[in-house]
């Protein structure tokens, strides 16, 4: 028999409490700023999904600034 595990930050299925409920309005506000052009994400690198292992290398080295975006179908 496999026991279910709970990870902090993730609600258990069927749980009435949603510990991340605060995030919904925050995400909505961020998406509005993004749509209005008032927020510009910093993309450090775009890497094909097939090279996903390479995406972890800058994180392991440290000194990483910006987001790494995995691109499908390239």
Residue 28 located in a structural domain: no
In the prediction, which pLDDT does 62 show? 80
pTM of full prediction above 0.75: no
Residue 66 located in a structural domain: yes
Q: Where are the alpha helices (DSSP H) in 1-74?
A: 23-35, 52-61
Residue 19 located in a structural domain: no
Residue 65 located in a structural domain: yes
Residue 29 located in a structural domain: no
Tell me: the pLDDT tens digits for 14-27? 555 666 777 788 88
- The predicted model gives 24-33 an average pLDDT of 88
- The pLDDT > 90 percentage for the chain reads 20
If you compute the radius of gyration of the chain from its CA atoms, what whole number of angstroms results? Answer: 17
Residue 59 located in a structural domain: yes
In the prediction, which pLDDT does 14 show? 56
Residue 35 located in a structural domain: no
Residue 15 located in a structural domain: no
Spatial distance between the Cα atoms of 41 and 34, rounded to a whole number of angstroms: 8
- Structural domain including 48 reads 41-74
Number of domains in the chain: 1
| Segment (H or E) for 68 | strand 67-71
Tell me: the pLDDT tens digits for 50-65? 998 888 888 788 877 8
Spatial distance between the Cα atoms of 64 and 25, rounded to a whole number of angstroms: 28
């Amino acid at each position: 028999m496999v026991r279910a595990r709970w990870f902090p930050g993730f609600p258990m299925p069927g749980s009435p409490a949603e510990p991340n409920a605060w995030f919904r309005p925050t995400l909505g506000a961020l998406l509005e700023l993004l749509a209005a052009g008032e927020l510009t994400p910093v993309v450090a690198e775009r890497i094909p999904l097939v090279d996903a292992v390479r995406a972890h290398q800058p994180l392991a080295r440290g000194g990483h600034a910006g987001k790494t975006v995995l691109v499908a179908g390239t």
